[in-house]
Amino acid sequence: MPAKQQSGVYTPDEDIQIHSENAIKLLCKPFQSHENGLPEWPKNAADEYARTDAPEKERVIVIIMQNGRARGSSNVIACLDFSGMTSATIEEDFRYWADPEAASRRGHQEVGVQGGHGNGGKCYMTQMFSDRAYLHTVKGKLANVYGTVAGSTHLGYFPDRDKGRNIRVLNVEAELDEALGEIGLSIDQLPPAAVKAFQKRQGFTLVVGRGAKGYGPRIPATQLLADLVEHPQMRMTLELCSVYAVVQKKLYNEGKPLELPKLAPLPGAEEPRVLEIPETLTDPVSSQSVSTTAGGKYPRGTLTLRTSETRMRRGGKKSRHNIVYKAQSGYIGYKPVADFDVSSTYRDRIYGECILMALEPAKMNERAALAATPLVRALEDWISTEIEVYAKEFEERDRRRHDQEERDALAQINTALDKWKNRLLEKVLGEAEGSGEEAGTNRPAPPSPLPLPTGDVARIELSLSFYRAGVGVPMKPRLSAFDASDKHIRPPAVMWVSNNESVASVDEIIGVVNTHAPGEAYLHCETFDKKIASNSVKLEIVDIGSILLDPPSIEVPAGSRRRVSATCTLSSGEEANDVALLWLENDPSIAQVSASGLVYGFAEGTTEVTASDDCVTADYGVSVIVLPGDAGGGSSSAYPRVLISEINPDPDTGETVILSFDDPPVHQRPHDVERNIWWINSASPLAQLYLGREFGPQSREWRIYHVERYIDVIVQISMSQGPEAEDQLDVGEWTARWGERAADIQGKAADGLAAFITNGELPS
C-alpha cells in the first residue's frame, strides 16, 4: 500500500546523524587566524576569574610568545592565568563543542562573564598550530594535561588518561616552573604582578600552542599583540583583568599591562549619553513592529554613546570604534560604527555599548556581527538614527560664524577662482588628449611629460593598455624603468622582440605595436647590450565579426566626458568589450574620442564617433551632441565645482556644510562625487590659521593656500579623467605621474595668477 501522509504527523529518527569532524571544522572557520583566535584564550581566562569572583588584583593574565629555531623547537604562543581547572571541569565543560550554555554550565551567571558557545578557544587550539596545543592546569593540587595534536579535533589527555589526569602535585610552584620550562621560561621571568597572583591563588592554567601556523620560527610579536589589543573581543578582558606579555623571555611594554587606547572625550561631552531603547521598533525590511523586550519577558535595554576627541577609524583606536552588544550571556558581538548608516563626519568620533537581553538569540558563533534578525535590523536602524542625531549636535556646536564681510569677500574670490579653474581644466584635459599626432590616428597625442631623472637601470616593466586588439590597431606600449633602489627613472633605449611577428610587431623607430593577423604574440624589450630584459606580455589579436557601440547617441556638455562602450562579437561567438580598436570622430574640433571610447566635448555642435579595425567597422556610429558648457559654475555645470565649507552653502539643500579639522584639506563626501562637487575644508588646521585674525581671507598667505587647493583638485580630476585613469599603474609610477602633472599644472597656474597672489587682483 502507498505510504500515507497526515499533515503534521511523523515519527522522528531516534538519533541525529552528523559528521562530527566536519561539523567542528565548520564551527571553527571564524577562528582560523591568530588575530581572531588568540583573543579567545585570555577571554576564557577572564571568564574563569569572573565565575570564581577573583579579587581584582589577582585577575592577572600573561600572554607568552617564544620564537622557535629553524631546525629545532617550534615557536610557542601561550596564555597563563591563575585559576586552574579540575578534570571534572575539563570533561563536563571544556571538552563540549557548540554548547549554548558554555558560560554558565556550572550554575553561574555572574556579571563580567563574556560567554560564548565554548568553541573559540578550542578552535584556535585545533586549527592554528602545526605541532600540538594543550593546557597544563593545576587546581586543588591536582594536575591535568589535556589537548590535541595538529590535524585532529579530538581532545585527550597527554600522554594518556592515566598519566595526564588528576596527577597529585606536592609543590604547585615547582609544577608551574616545570610547565613554563617546557616552553623555555621560568617563574622568575614572569611579571611581578603575576608572581604575586600565583602565590595567593596556588593554581594555574597554561594554554600552549606549538608551531603557530603561518609564521615560521619567528613570531611577529609586536604586530600580533597590537592586533590583540585592538580586537573588539579584548575590550572587556582588558577592562576586567591585568594582561601582561612576555616575548622572548623579556617583559613586553616595559613590564606594564596591555591596555585599551585612552580616549579623551570631545570637549563638552565628557559624560556618556545614555538612551533607553523603545519597547517597539520597526524592521526597515518588512516595516513590521518588533518588540525589544520579547513581549515583556525582558526589561528595556539601553544604548550608551561615548565620544573621542580624535577620529577613531584608523590606528590603535579603531578597535574601540564599535557599538558593542551585550545580552544575557554578556558580550555577544559588535558592529563597527562606520557600518551604520550615518552621514556626518562626527560619526568617526562616536562609539558605545548596547545592552539588550532580547538580543541573545542573535548571538553568532564568532561573537562579531549579530544574525540579521528583524530585531537586529530594527535596532541597528534606530542606533543609526541616534548616532546621526548626536553627531549633528556637534556639527551645530562647531558651526563657525564668519564675519559677513569676510564671508562675502571669500565667496567672491572663490567664484573667480572657480571660473579660472574651468578654463585651466579644459586646457589640461584637452592636452591630456594631446597636441601632436598619435601614431596611426588623426587624434592628438599626449604632451611630453616632465623628464624623469636618469640613472642606472636595474629593471624594466612593460605594460599595455589592452591585451586584446583587432587587426591593424596600433598601440603604444608603456615602459617603466627603475634603479636598484626601485626609484622611477628614465627608460633606456631598447630593442623590441616579438615571438610571432606575423601576428604583432613593434615599430622600432616610433615604438608602436602594430597588429597584423589573428593569433597570439609575446612581446618584450631588452637593452642593446642584452643585460636587462623586461617582462614578457601576451597580446592576442582577435578575429572580429561585428562591433556594436552603445549608447547610439550621447549628449556631452562642453568641458565634460562621456564613455561609449564597444562590444565585439568574435568569430568564435564570444562577446568581448576589452578589445583595442581604432576610434575616430568626424569633427575633432567639436569632440574627440580616446583609445578607450572616452568622448570629450570641446565646442557646441554635432559630430559622430565610430570604432573599427582593418577588417570590420561598427554597424552604426554614435551621434554626439555637444551642449554649451556652464563656465560660470552653476548647479548644472558640466565642470566640477569647488566650494568652501562653512562659506558656500550646499547647492542642492542650501544648508551650511560643516567639515572636521581632520577631514582632508580638499574633500568629497560620498554624495558629492556624483554631483561633481569638491570642498576646500575651511576647518583644516592651515585653513583655520590663514582665515584667522592674524591673516584673514584677504591675506597673501590665504591666497597662496587657496590656489594650492585648487591645484590639488585639478590634479586629482586630470589624473582620474586623463590617460592614467585607464592604466594599471603601480604606486611608484602613479606617484611619479602625479608629481609630473602637479608640476605642469602649477606652471600653467603661475602664468595667470601672479597678480592675484601678489596683490589680490581677481583673475579675469
Q: Express each pLDDT in 38-78 by its tens digit.
A: 999 999 999 898 888 888 889 999 999 999 986 667 899 99
Query: Hey, which residues does 514 pair with through a beta bridge?
Result: 505
What span, in angstroms and rounded, lies between the C-alpha atoms of 601 and 593? Answer: 9
More confident residue, 2 or 513: 513
What one-character-per-residue DSSP string does 345-359 give? GGGGGEEEEEE-GGG
DSSP letter for 481, please: E
Closest CA to 566 of 585, 579, 553, 584: 579
What span, in angstroms and rounded, lies between the C-alpha atoms of 551 and 545? Answer: 20
Instruction: Flag whether pLDDT at 691 surpasses 90.
Output: no
Residue 549 contacts residue 566 (beta carbons within 8 Å): yes
For the chain, helix, strand, coil in percent to 5 are 30, 25, 45
DSSP letter for 314, please: S
Note the pLDDT of residue 635.
36
What one-character-per-residue DSSP string does 113-139 give? -----S-HHHHHHHHSEEEEEEEEEEE
pLDDT (average), residues 525-554: 92
Which SS3 state, helix, strand or coil, does residue 465 take?
A: coil
Phi, psi (degrees; rounded to nearest 5) at 695: -120, -75
How large a percentage of the chain has pLDDT more than 90? 43
Note the pLDDT of residue 399.
61
Which SS3 state, helix, strand or coil, does residue 584 take?
A: strand
What span, in angstroms and rounded, lies between the C-alpha atoms of 438 and 593? Answer: 12
Lowest mean per-residue pLDDT among 250-254, 365-369, 577-581: 365-369
Phi, psi (degrees; rounded to nearest 5) at 657: -95, 120
What span, in angstroms and rounded, lies between the C-alpha atoms of 181 and 192? Answer: 18
pLDDT (average), residues 150-159: 88
Cα Rg of the chain, angstroms: 34
C-alpha cell at 422: 574651468
Alpha helices, DSSP H, located in 31-136: 34-37, 40-51, 87-89, 120-127
Closest CA to 145 of 194, 186, 202, 85: 85
pLDDT digits (tens, 9 = 90+) for 428-482: 665 544 433 333 333 444 444 445 688 899 999 998 888 999 999 998 888 888 8
Which SS3 state, helix, strand or coil, does residue 392 take?
A: helix
Residue written as grid cell 622582440: 497
Query: Hey, which residues does 81 pair with through a beta bridge?
Result: 205
Note the pLDDT of residue 328.
83
Query: Hey, which residues does 496 pair with through a beta bridge?
Result: 525
Apex CA 380: angle with CA 379 and CA 386, to 5°? 90
Residue 230 contacts residue 157 (beta carbons within 8 Å): no
- Using the CB atoms, write b or e for 103-115: b if 16+ within 10 Å: bbeeeeeeebbbb
Instruction: Flag whether pLDDT at 637 surpasses 60.
Output: no
Query: Hey, which residues does 137 pair with through a beta bridge?
Result: 144, 205
Model confidence at 100, pLDDT cuts 50, 70, 90, reads low
Lowest mean per-residue pLDDT among 152-156, 311-315, 684-688, 732-736: 732-736
Query: Hey, which residues does 264 pair with through a beta bridge?
Result: none
Closest CA to 651 of 631, 678, 629, 670: 678
DSSP letter for 617, please: B
What span, in angstroms and rounded, lies between the C-alpha atoms of 326 and 301? Answer: 10
CA end-to-end span of the chain: 97
pLDDT (average), residues 305-332: 81
C-alpha cell at 149: 595534536
Q: Which of 169-173, 342-346, 636-640 has the highest mean pLDDT?
A: 169-173
Instruction: Flag whether pLDDT at 106 surpasses 60.
Output: no
Note the pLDDT of residue 671.
77
User: Under 8 Å CB-to-CB from 295, ≥6 apart: which residues?
Assistant: none
Lowest mean per-residue pLDDT among 509-513, 525-529, 555-559: 555-559
Which SS3 state, helix, strand or coil, does residue 537 take?
A: strand
Closest CA to 702 of 641, 664, 757, 662: 757
Residue 594 contacts residue 434 (beta carbons within 8 Å): no
More confident residue, 445 or 37: 37
Give the chain's mean pLDDT: 83
pLDDT (average), residues 257-278: 90
What span, in angstroms and rounded, lies between the C-alpha atoms of 103 and 46? Answer: 11
The CB density around residue 336, as the number of other CB atoms within 10 Å, is 17
Residue written as grid cell 611579571: 191
Note the pLDDT of residue 674.
66
What span, in angstroms and rounded, lies between the C-alpha atoms of 694 and 92? Answer: 73
Model confidence at 24, pLDDT cuts 50, 70, 90, reads low
What span, in angstroms and rounded, lies between the C-alpha atoms of 548 and 624? Answer: 16
Closest CA to 223 of 32, 38, 72: 38
pLDDT digits (tens, 9 = 90+) for 7-17: 657 666 666 66
What span, in angstroms and rounded, lies between the C-alpha atoms of 621 and 614? Answer: 16
Note the pLDDT of residue 650.
87
Query: Hey, which residues does 626 pair with through a beta bridge?
Result: 556, 605
Query: Hey, which residues does 204 pair with through a beta bridge?
Result: 138
pLDDT digits (tens, 9 = 90+) for 328-377: 877 788 899 989 999 888 899 999 999 999 999 998 866 678 999 999 99
What span, in angstroms and rounded, lies between the C-alpha atoms of 491 and 149? Answer: 55
Residue 506 contacts residue 539 (beta carbons within 8 Å): no
Model confidence at 107, pLDDT cuts 50, 70, 90, reads very low
Closest CA to 502 of 479, 519, 487, 488: 519
Note the pLDDT of residue 633.
40
Q: Which of 120-124, 408-412, 536-540 has the highest mean pLDDT?
A: 536-540
Model confidence at 731, pLDDT cuts 50, 70, 90, reads low
Q: List, in order of start, the domains of the chain with CATH numbers.
A: 20-255 (3.30.565.10), 273-397 (no CATH), 404-423+633-759 (no CATH), 459-541 (2.60.40.1080)
Model confidence at 418, pLDDT cuts 50, 70, 90, reads confident
pLDDT digits (tens, 9 = 90+) for 192-215: 999 999 999 999 999 999 999 988
Amino acid identity at 124 = Y
What span, in angstroms and rounded, lies between the C-alpha atoms of 310 and 540? Answer: 52
